[in-house]
Chains A and B, each alone.
Chain A
């Protein structure tokens, strides 16, 4: 008979180490999940460097509609970044000496593009379409936050899949009337649940049969 290497007290250690291994693995996965959705990984609230420190707050508070610059938001997947000419519609005369606007004037004179940094950049395997959302009761502010209060643009919402699914599973919580889509201050919750369900019917948004949570709706 071979000599006993382990004593009775080692049973505790053995069990404890098993427990620790399982708990550690679970903890690690949980931590990675939280990290994956954290503002640190999602770049929320981060003011990215831009060629011109453009203020959505300032321009929106002048009463300029979102669509004045984002001209294709109602009819295409891409809301579009305005051409330099759109800036020059006003800045050919206003603040025409401002050093801050030097890159805009350079772009206007040379014909070269201003290279803005995309703040809301979904993964390439997501086929998000702006037009289908703004034409069916989802306002700018629902996904972009209060852009009219952002002096420098940042991402307010994390834009991970579970976040999108909140609305795709229950759009009645987020839908708003057609004349409030571009109204940043409007809160869909100011309507009753019944009123919002009524809106779903008006927009003919059909949530039956997992239609809005079908993978192929966003991934193809």
Chain B
């Protein structure tokens, strides 16, 4: 009788220490770290330890069928079956688009190409291979589709920026690059034209956004 009583006590104490305390601790932990994955959280379920799964090859999500070659590939069909780099933009570039292009250029491109596009960005100054200036004879003659293609696919040692910069922003950056190119070869007549236009319509900045940037980058 006495033995069974002490055995009961022992079992009870054991339950309290192991089973009894643990759930209390786990409830708090389970709330903090729930049975769900936060973005990019590691998992043991898949072999590559990624909870974020890549798309199965060939799947197209609704609304993501990229049929517009001009917008997504930067090419135009000149004759049936014959494509060239797009000479125009797939959408109208407004002053807002240019401002966005400037912002994106300064985040993603200026690190190598420099704020004015002459190829002396900080990463180049720290020892990366030279980045071409946008103001060379050759690059000034290139159509928008060329710059769009380089941003999308990379060129030489420059890798693709397609996953860092969405497709519309790549076109806006292209527009800003062409603005920079224009700005470096602006003449006094251009400035006079801008001043005239501004005096005539101070609120209308849309059509004359480009030469304004010339001052900022000198």
- Show the binding face of A for B, using Cβ within 8 Å: 62-65, 67-68, 71, 77-78, 80-81, 83, 85-86, 88-90, 92-94, 112-113, 115, 121, 123-125
Contact = CB atoms under 8 A, between A and B. Distances in A.
A94 B40 contact: no
A88 B33 CA distance: 32
B188 to A, nearest CB: 31
Contact of B164 (A71, A88, A93, A123): A71
Nearest to B38: A124
Interface in B17-34: 31-34
The DSSP consensus for interface residues of chain A is loop
A92 B111 contact: no
B39 A62 contact: no
Interface of B: 31-34, 36, 38-40, 42, 48-50, 106-108, 110-111, 122-123, 126-129, 157-159, 163-164
Contact of B106 (A65, A92, A113): A65
Contacts of A77: 39
Nearest to B33: A124
Nearest to A64: B111
Contacts of B34: 124-125
A89 B159 contact: yes
Nearest to A83: B163
The DSSP consensus for interface residues of chain B is loop
A86 to B, nearest CB: 7
B107 A65 contact: yes
7 closest A-B pairs by beta carbon, nearest first, are A124-B34, A78-B39, A65-B107, A123-B32, A62-B122, A63-B122, A67-B107
A81 B40 contact: yes
A71 B164 CA distance: 6
A94 B125 CA distance: 11
B129 A113 contact: no
22 contacts: A62-B123, A62-B126, A63-B122, A64-B111, A67-B107, A71-B164, A78-B38, A81-B40, A83-B163, A85-B163, A89-B159, A90-B111, A93-B128, A94-B127, A94-B128, A112-B48, A113-B49, A113-B50, A124-B32, A124-B33, A124-B36, A125-B31
